[in-house]
């Protein structure tokens, strides 16, 4: 896909989505990182409901350690994989206190070394908190970018590197959110709303009749 077409895609998306930003509710960088960890295989809405009371009590790694794994589980038990996520968040908090003076490291390699923090979580953190343009790839970004023809990739890591290399610089900071929100509201996995999509003339989905419903 040539640069002019890519630019048109993101221009249309930015016109459709006036505020391309995270829907996660947080108090500071630490609570944002916790929220992103919790959001894996869960909706932002369910995470916000679970953290509403949690973040009244906990805003720092020390407070999370003092809360303890058992009480943390009681706050997030409605979220998928809450047992494993609770364990990772407590372990992460201890590492932040012991190794990083309770601060979250900014380097990508240091971030992904933390329990529960993979490429996607680290990229989301860098993009949102550190203002480093990254295109974190979740199921929506992967599906939408392949479906409309921005990329032809087989896994999230390849998708991220490809998108970051082809998306014009002016759209890189917002691209992650634009693609996610477009996937949630219009380009759904099952029964995408093609008739109401502003990208219909730029999209390869219908013309090639590719079935991406399971992606």
Together in a domain, 74 and 111:
yes
Report the C-alpha gap between 150 and 131 in whole angstroms.
Answer: 23
Together in a domain, 46 and 77:
yes
For the packed helices 139-148 and 169-185, what is the interaxial angle rounded to 10 degrees? 100
Together in a domain, 33 and 106:
yes
Report the C-alpha gap between 135 and 179 in whole angstroms.
Answer: 9
Together in a domain, 162 and 83:
no
Among 138, 162, 185, 188, the active-site one is 138
Cβ neighbours of residue 173 under 8 Å, at least 6 residues apart? 127, 131, 133
Together in a domain, 111 and 162:
no
Could you say which DSSP state residue 103 is in?
A: P
Together in a domain, 37 and 85:
yes
Report the C-alpha gap between 203 and 186 in whole angstroms.
Answer: 13
Task: Find how far residue 52's CA is from the centre of its chain.
Answer: 19
pLDDT of residue 209 exceeding 50, the answer is no
Domain that holds residue 96: 29-128
The tokens for 215 are 């992606």
Q: 120 catalytic, yes or no?
A: yes
> pLDDT by residue (tens digit) across 83-104?
999 999 999 999 999 999 999 9
CATH code at 36? 1.10.340.30
CATH code at 152? 1.10.1670.10
Q: 57 catalytic, yes or no?
A: no
Average pLDDT, rounded, for the chain: 93
140 in Cβ contact with 209 (< 8 Å): no
Query: Is 13 among the domain residues?
Result: yes
143-179: buried (b, 16+ CB within 10 Å) or exposed (e) per residue? bbbbbbbbbebeebeebbebbbeebeeebbbbbbbbb
Question: Dmax over Cα atoms in the chain, in whole Å?
Answer: 56
Domain count, the chain: 2
Together in a domain, 65 and 83:
yes
Query: Is 76 among the domain residues?
Result: yes
Whole-prediction pTM: 0.88
pLDDT of residue 211 exceeding 90, the answer is no
C-alpha angle 31/32/34, rounded to 5°? Answer: 65
Together in a domain, 101 and 181:
no
Report the C-alpha gap between 49 and 78 in whole angstroms.
Answer: 9
Together in a domain, 37 and 107:
yes
Query: Is 215 among the domain residues?
Result: no
What is residue 207's predicted lDDT score, i.e. its pLDDT?
Answer: 58
> pLDDT by residue (tens digit) across 59-84?
999 999 999 999 999 999 999 999 99
The tokens for 123 are 């990229």
pLDDT of residue 42 exceeding 70, the answer is yes
């Amino acid at each position: 896909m040539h640069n002019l077409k890519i630019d048109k895609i993101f221009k249309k998306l930015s016109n459709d989505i006036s505020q391309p930003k995270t829907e996660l509710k947080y108090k500071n960088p630490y609570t944002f990182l916790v929220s992103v960890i919790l959001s894996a295989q869960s909706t932002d809405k369910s995470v916000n409901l679970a953290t509403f009371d949690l973040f009244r009590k906990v805003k720092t790694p020390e407070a999370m350690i003092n809360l303890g794994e058992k009480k943390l589980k009681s706050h997030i038990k409605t979220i998928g994989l809450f047992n494993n996520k609770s364990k990772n968040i407590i372990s992460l908090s201890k590492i932040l206190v012991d190794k990083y003076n309770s601060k979250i490291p900014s380097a990508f390699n240091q971030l992904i070394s933390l329990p529960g923090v993979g490429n996607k979580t680290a990229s989301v953190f860098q993009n949102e908190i550190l203002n480093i343009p990254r295109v974190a790839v979740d199921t929506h970004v992967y599906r939408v970018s392949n479906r409309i023809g921005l990329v032809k990739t087989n896994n999230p890591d390849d998708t991220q590197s490809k998108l970051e290399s082809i998306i014009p610089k002016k759209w890189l900071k917002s691209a992650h959110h634009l693609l996610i929100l477009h996937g949630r509201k219009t380009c759904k996995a099952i029964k995408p709303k093609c008739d109401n999509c502003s990208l219909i003339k730029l999209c390869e989905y219908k013309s090639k009749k590719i079935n991406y419903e399971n992606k």
